Amino acid sequence: MKSIRLWTLWRACLHDSVAPKGAAAVLVTAIVAAGGQGTRLGSERPKQLLMLGDRTMLQRSVDVFDRCARVDAIVLVVPANIVELPALVSTDQTPIQIVEGGVRRQDSVARGFDAAGSSDIIVVHDAARPFCSSDLIVRTIDAASRYGAAIPGLPPHDTVKQRSTGSGGFVSRTLARDGLVLAQTPQAFLHEVLDEALRLGRQGFEATDEAVLAERAGHRVAIVEGDPWNIKITTQRDLEVARGLSGASVQTRRVGFGYDLHRLVPGGPLLLGGVSIPYDHGLAGHSDADAVCHAVTDAILGAAAAGDIGRHFPDTDPRWKGVSSIALLRNVVELVRGCGFAVVNLDVVVVAERPKIAPYVDLMRKAIADAVGIESAAVSVKGKTNEGVDATGRGEAIATHAVAMLSQIG
């Protein structure tokens, strides 16, 4: 084993495993590698964005590091096509940085390592293992602090056969199970150990995980007891098992509620649900003030737990001045698809003393349905009055309520 910094080892030995975040003697950064597209799974989207119960696979993988008291920071490495996706992940306790991945896994981890700075210990975890436990993380960190590098491993229970490389499926030999382990993540390394390992990767050496690179660089890699629940999701069958473990074997449905109100001001026309209605007043707002589209947008975002319209399109941003609310609605539908959900149906109530919207209801239903990507039959729009009560009842404003149902996709 190559020499390592003695002061780092000394600090690791002093580490209190129950210390709160920010109070640790040793700084630990977790790199969650989610740079792949999951093509072997056969999904239309990157597999890390598929839903497992109430959260994406990616969010579940991040959550365990967020909760682990030994982890001080998280670097999430994702494909370029989702790096800017709003509401990709969130953390409650741990700072997180999102960076764009590379072509190969080891390239993605190298980019995550560069973003991790000078942390003493780096933990590398595959986002396709969403059921990792805090105990497993701590065991791996402790072993890495002592030996320089560590991985969790499980002994194989089945007889292991090596297949011949020629044509046909024949056994070339049977391997003794004694001494064999099935490697998992998280894998933990002292900073300088992983630095040397990744340098080999940058020089062109190919490896299936970082422990291989550390071995090649001359470092011993300790093995800690793995976790049989820490499964890796690679195939459709793996996904079915994972959804069973997360209580998501039945398709998930989500419901969201949206509300919007705008003042009526002189000068028309009036825009509601993407339809221009002849009237001597219009709605005041930063965008085109389409209260129907705004309520529907908030309902969809709410069902996906992806924020609200003000978060994604703030009225302080000049980009959204006068923008079409139908266009914003289309963007939000794509956003929630990226979170693993599709709109099933919508129910909208427009509260307006005047004008009467009944003649325009079917046009609104079609415009909204086209923007959302569902049939008009799945969109309900109803007009109500407020019986002369408050500003809406006096004809000074129009209010809209909307309910959206979303279903899990993928």
Identify whether 304 is part of a domain: yes
Identify whether 1 is part of a domain: no
Mean pLDDT score of the chain: 87
d(CA 123, CA 154): 19
- H-state helical runs in 272-341: 291-303, 309-312, 325-338
**pLDDT recorded at residue 9:** 33
Preceding amide of 355 cis, omega within 30: yes
**pLDDT recorded at residue 131:** 94
Q: Are residues 239 and 363 in the same domain?
A: no
pLDDT digits (tens, 9 = 90+) for 109-118: 999 999 998 8
pLDDT digits (tens, 9 = 90+) for 266-288: 987 899 999 999 999 989 888 88
Residue 408 has pLDDT above 90, yes or no: no
Q: pTM for this structure?
A: 0.62
Residue 199 has pLDDT above 90, yes or no: yes
CATH number for position 62? 3.90.550.10
**pLDDT recorded at residue 182:** 95
Residue 19 has pLDDT above 60, yes or no: no
| 46 vs 324, more confident | 324
DSSP 190-237: EHHHHHHHHHHHHTT---SSHHHHHHHTT---EEEE--TT-----SHH
d(CA 55, CA 132): 15
Q: Are residues 88 and 23 in the same domain?
A: yes
Identify whether 277 is part of a domain: yes
Identify whether 376 is part of a domain: yes
Identify whether 340 is part of a domain: yes
Report the percent of the chain where pLDDT is more than 90.
57
CATH number for position 380? 3.30.1330.50
The domain boundary, picked from 216, 245, 274, lies at: 245
**pLDDT recorded at residue 247:** 67
Q: Are residues 262 and 352 in the same domain?
A: yes
Q: Are residues 142 and 169 in the same domain?
A: yes
Average pLDDT on 196-212 reads 91
3-state secondary structure of 313: coil
Structural domain count of the chain: 2
Q: Are residues 226 and 272 in the same domain?
A: no
Identify whether 356 is part of a domain: yes
Q: Are residues 231 and 307 in the same domain?
A: no
d(CA 380, CA 273): 11
Q: Are residues 20 and 169 in the same domain?
A: yes
Pairing of strands 28-33, 73-78: parallel
Q: Are residues 316 and 236 in the same domain?
A: no
Average pLDDT on 191-212 reads 92
Residue 18 has pLDDT above 80, yes or no: no
pLDDT band at residue 168 under the 50/70/90 scheme:
low
Pick the range with the lowest mean pLDDT from 38-42, 46-50, 206-210, 390-394: 38-42
Residue 5 has pLDDT above 60, yes or no: no
Identify whether 99 is part of a domain: yes
Identify whether 232 is part of a domain: yes
The domain boundary, picked from 245, 268, 299, lies at: 245
For residue 332, CA distances in Å to 27, 209, 312 come to 38, 37, 9
Q: Are residues 193 and 258 in the same domain?
A: no
pLDDT band at residue 291 under the 50/70/90 scheme:
very high
Q: Are residues 291 and 328 in the same domain?
A: yes
Average pLDDT on 320-332 reads 89
Q: What is the enclosing helix (H) or strand (E) of 374? A: none
Q: Are residues 45 and 79 in the same domain?
A: yes
pLDDT digits (tens, 9 = 90+) for 65-88: 999 999 999 999 999 888 877 778
The domain boundary, picked from 245, 278, 308, lies at: 245
Q: Are residues 218 and 128 in the same domain?
A: yes
Provide the domain limits for residue 77. 6-245
